[in-house]
Amino acid sequence: MKTKRRKFKSFTEVDPETWYQVKCKQEFGAGYIKVIHWVNKNTNAFHSRSDESFWFESEKDAFKFRLKWGGDKHGEE
């Protein structure tokens, strides 16, 4: 069985003009760990995290995340 490689990038590598931001107000703890685990398992392109947001290189990954965990649209508050 092939192990899926985690596709995480440091936030300093994120281009806010081309990546998709989804707000996620999970408190750090078990709930936040579930979110990270879900992202690692269910996304295909690179992703990153900042304070209250997850960032996705792929619009499709951002959409799947938004469906599962909520959040706003690309770059909107």
Domain boundaries, the chain: 18-69
Q: Which residues of 47-62 are buried (b: 16+ CB within 10 A; e: fewer)?
A: bbbeeebbbbbbeebb
5: its two tokens: 């490689």
Rounded to two decimals, what is the model's pTM?
A: 0.77
Q: In what order do the strands lie in the sheet with 20-23?
A: 20-23, 53-56, 47-50
23 touches 72 (CB < 8 A) = yes
The Cα 17–Cα 28 span in angstroms is 27
Q: What is the pLDDT along the chain (77 residues), one digit of tens a residue?
A: 555 566 888 888 889 899 999 988 766 778 888 998 999 999 999 999 887 899 999 999 999 999 998 765 444 43
